[in-house]
Structure 1
């Protein structure tokens, strides 16, 4: 399988990869996120890290594996809807899916099911994946770790 980086010049590869992966990760969160509620927390002196290196690697592998399917689903739904704005699709929110035309609903449900399987096949629960995705929005250290892992996986000959 061709690597995404093969399609870009060396000068813009890093910038394009960064934008693509993080926009993809954020979009993926919107598509497969579960209701995420935080209960009361006991705060200690040092908060536990949201993810360890194994989880970060699994997260990055899942994002890379989901991205082509996400782009395909988005393009298919875009064709069906036409010039209209594509609404935010959240897998566990039936209202977000039910508001789509029937064929688009099928595409969204199929994508949600495939994404859930990809996440689980990469060793994470949906809750773990969603927690990391949410944390990426506010944690620059985690964002850099995921970014570096995505770059490393893209350079690796046996990447997904």
Structure 2
């Protein structure tokens, strides 16, 4: 079971490591409200992609060594191109897997990204996602 501080770290890390997935993400002037179904889908996707994110991060960290790992944004080729070639492959594989996980959990990549951005600015939504993550961790059969 994830601890409370780790859950908040997961949300933050997902926002940092995979802020965007699709090549043609759109910016919307106003994000539509996030409903309970989307919160549940978002939380399930975050939990499903976390082991892959941790693995990718650790593998890239090994390749870079003592240097700091730059922020990796899946739809920003420059953020990936700053990595060594093998690390680029790991990052791209993670991005592709994450996009599939998001879609498998009933969200489009653009909507996942909108929710991620909204969480950073909306404490109420952040708390709802956090509570959903806790609930899913306590009752894994509800996924």
Displacement of 1:133 in angstroms is: 0.8
Displacement of 1:18 in angstroms is: 2.7
In the superposition, the TM-score normalised over structure 2's length comes to 0.88
Partner of 2:15: 29
**Is the aligned partner of 1:151 residue 2:134?**
yes
Structure 2 stretches of 5 or more lacking a match? none
> When the two structures are aligned, how many residues end up with a matched partner?
139
Q: Deviation string for 1:60-84 (max 9, x for gaps)?
A: 0000001111000000000000000
**Is the aligned partner of 1:61 residue 2:44?**
yes
Q: Write the distance in 1 (CA, Å) between the matches of 2:140 and 2:56.
A: 27
Displacement of 1:158 in angstroms is: 1.7
Q: Deviation string for 1:10-64 (max 9, x for gaps)?
A: xxxxxxx33222222222223333355233x5xxxxxx86210000000000000
Say if 1:21 and 1:36 are closer, same or farther in 2 by CA, change over 3 A.
farther
Aligned match for 2:106, one of 115, 123, 132: 123
Partner of 1:45: none
Q: Highest Rg: 1 or 2? A: 1
Aligned match for 2:115, one of 110, 132, 136: 132
Partner of 1:74: 57
Structure 1 stretches of 5 or more lacking a match? 6-16, 42-47
In the superposition, the TM-score normalised over structure 1's length comes to 0.79
Q: Write the distance in 2 (CA, Å) between the matches of 1:50 and 1:21.
A: 23
Partner of 2:28: 38
